[in-house]
Structure 1
Amino acid sequence: MKKDLLKLLDLTREDITKILDVADQMKYNQKHGLPHDCLKGKTLAMIFEKNSTRTRVSFEVGVYQMGGHALFLSGKESQIGRGEPIADTARVLSRYCDGIMIRTYAQAEVEELAKYATIPVINGLTDFAHPCQVLADLMTVREKMTRLEGLKLCFIGDGNNMANSLIVGGLKCGMDVSVACPEGYDPDPRVLDFAKSVTDAKFTLCRDPEEAIADADVVITDVWASMGQEEAQKRRMAFEGVYQVNDTLMKLAHPGAMVQHCLPAHRGEEITAEVFEAHADEIFEEAENRLHAQKAVLSLLMGEN
């Protein structure tokens, strides 16, 4: 049966743990020069309707390191950007390639692509979810903290795709999750419904960052206006002066708390330069782990496992 990675809501805790375990092995193999060419002779089609640095580079490098080939398809330069139905694109690419990664706007587009494709489809980012990034985040936290279960994860900022996926991924791994965002910028209702159903971890949604960050082991933030979102000035007014990870706020977190940011970071807005640089090693380890976590996903979906 074909397997996909469309959103973390589709995965079990065991699925996530398996991906993280394989990611750890992928990282070990690369660091020690051990062969891991399970994609030899295979091709990944990469559709980009949103611009990217980390997603494109990490997927392209990862496929190469695993012996395969990644093919970049710009939404503006391919037929999908000129009105070809998603269903037709899915069926064509399924006859050429062994997997599809798409970075786009609507989650429904990814779901439809997967419906008609006969090869695995990976969500590289939508407005609803960012599963690959959060898998890298969880990998990084587990590396530093040696566990996930029982930790408290705090997200401060817009209830965007990052917040959605962090809530789901964190709760599924047994982490308590707290989110602080302005009124009108809450996470997706589908995610909040899921959070209500969780019984073995605690979820809190509040307006006060001080309440959310209290005793947090992991503090995560993201830009106030995600790519493609308008009304930047309106958003600045809603977030500025309150929803910023700074030294004062970090004093309320658990001693030794780590900070994560999916990048790019707007220093002086959602995070101060001082906090960013104090936790830069953790943040750029998180960025590196995009490579290893995605290689794990590619291996499990496209490799010989």
Structure 2
Amino acid sequence: MFQGRSLLKEVDFTPEELEYLIDFSIHLKDLKKRNIPHEYLKGQNIVLLFEKSSTRTRSAFTVACNDLGANPEFMGANDIQLGKKESVEDSAKVFGSMFDGIEFRGFKQEDVEALAKYSGVPVWNGLTDEWHPTQMIADFMTIKEEFGELKGKKLVYCGDGRNNMANSLLVAGSMLGVSITVASPEELFPEQSVVDYAEKFAKESGSTVTVTSDIKSAVKDADVLYTDVWVSMGEEDKFEERINLLKPYQINKELTDLIEGDYIFMHCLPAFHDTETKYGAEMNERFGVKEMEVTDEVFRDEKHARQFEEAENRMHSIKAIMAATNGNLFIPKV
């Protein structure tokens, strides 16, 4: 039922199929920890196409390929000609004739859709400007590991409400029965079409979808606090504007003290929680900001912070996605 399919956005799979991928990710993580081989893609060749730079996505796909017995071939922005000297359709046909699967991390959702349409092999979306579905399997895997279940939990996303992470959390969460609140300034509210889409799934799963500018009331009953960088790749000229807009939406100790129950903090990384990066130092020099979307205190709070478990889970979940869709596994209908 999974074999030969692509994961381009969350709704390519049913809620039950997403749940299966999450549980399969947890199973493969256990096999990895116990050094039990699971070479479901042995002998396959997988191409990793990266228009956008990456740390976790590249590492996760590379290690996942190796663990599954496949051979990964990395191609960066200077190696591929998608839409430049060669159409995406033509490139897709070439890649499909040589490789058994394609990962794509880039800008346009239509490019990853075209790769899937014309290549004839499974394609996995490692991130586009609209959606980040492989991240979602890792994120909700992390939440399930922490709480033992997904349905009935509440995730509050704080920050830029119109980026790919907010979009994906709204849709994936509502599909899985997790109530999603986006706390954001009105200028950065998610597109209404995405909210409407999520609400449709929320009615079916029994969850809720909320978009608000009132961050303090939003977080009080949160099980998960989630944030992302204030400026996405390709928007580096907007730092001053975003800092001014999003300062009130920083996750800090004052905010976490408002939470009435237990919670975990998550971040898809990288995070600007100090000045130990080029961007962090530059923002401090230019705007006097030493911490952006999350303070260093919250980021390093070992009791609640789960961003590094979440980062590791990128590899286990990507492995599950590739194995399920390209490993000729027997998977009963879910």
Which TM-score band (shorter chain)? Answer: over 0.9
Deviations 1:195-245 (A, max 9, x none): 2323111111001111221200001000100111132211111112x0100
Conservation of the 8 A alpha-carbon contact between 1:154 and 1:219: yes
CA positional deviation for 1:189: 3.4
The aligned residue for residue 259 of structure 1 is 265
Conservation of the 8 A alpha-carbon contact between 1:49 and 1:104: yes
Determine what percentage of the aligned residue pairs are the same residue: 41
Q: Distance in 1 between matches of 2:81 and 2:60?
A: 25
The aligned residue for residue 278 of structure 1 is 301
Q: Distance in 1 between matches of 2:83 and 2:54?
A: 17
Could you say what secondary structure the match of 2:181 adopts?
strand
The answer to whether residue 313 in structure 2 is matched with residue 289 in structure 1 is yes
The aligned residue for residue 184 of structure 1 is 187
Q: Distance in 2 between matches of 1:190 and 1:51?
A: 29
Could you say what secondary structure the match of 1:154 adopts?
strand
Deviations 1:84-126 (A, max 9, x none): 1000111001000010000001111111111112000100001
Could you say what secondary structure the match of 1:44 adopts?
strand
The residue correspondences of 1:9-20 to structure 2 (distance < 5 A) are 9-20=11-22
Q: Distance in 2 between matches of 1:286 and 1:254?
A: 23
Conservation of the 8 A alpha-carbon contact between 2:48 and 2:75: yes
Could you say what secondary structure the match of 2:186 adopts?
coil
Conservation of the 8 A alpha-carbon contact between 2:199 and 2:208: no
Paired letter, 1:220 = Y
Paired letter, 1:235 = R
The aligned residue for residue 236 of structure 1 is 243
Conservation of the 8 A alpha-carbon contact between 2:184 and 2:213: yes
Q: Distance in 1 between matches of 2:166 and 2:56?
A: 19
Conservation of the 8 A alpha-carbon contact between 1:217 and 1:254: no
Q: Which of 2, 6, 30 is the matching residue for 2:32?
A: 30
Q: Distance in 1 between matches of 2:38 and 2:240?
A: 47
Could you say what secondary structure the match of 1:223 adopts?
coil
Conservation of the 8 A alpha-carbon contact between 2:249 and 2:293: yes
Deviates more, 1:71-80 or 1:222-231: 71-80
Paired letter, 2:249 = Y
Conservation of the 8 A alpha-carbon contact between 2:195 and 2:209: no
Q: Which of 191, 196, 199 is the matching residue for 1:196?
A: 199
Gap runs ≥5 in structure 2: 274-290, 330-334
Could you say what secondary structure the match of 1:79 adopts?
coil
Deviations 1:135-172 (A, max 9, x none): 11100000011000001110000021111111111111
Could you say what secondary structure the match of 2:103 adopts?
strand
Conservation of the 8 A alpha-carbon contact between 2:171 and 2:197: yes
Could you say what secondary structure the match of 1:105 adopts?
coil
* Aligned pairs, number: 304
CA positional deviation for 1:281: 5.4
Could you say what secondary structure the match of 1:245 adopts?
coil
The answer to whether residue 193 in structure 2 is matched with residue 170 in structure 1 is no
Paired letter, 1:297 = I
Could you say what secondary structure the match of 1:147 adopts?
coil
Gap runs ≥5 in structure 1: none
The aligned residue for residue 74 of structure 1 is 76
Conservation of the 8 A alpha-carbon contact between 1:75 and 1:81: no
CA positional deviation for 1:282: 1.4
Q: Distance in 2 between matches of 1:282 and 1:36?
A: 26
Deviates more, 1:76-85 or 1:149-158: 76-85
- After TM superposition, the score normalised by the length of structure 1 is 0.96
Q: CA RMSD in A?
A: 1.3
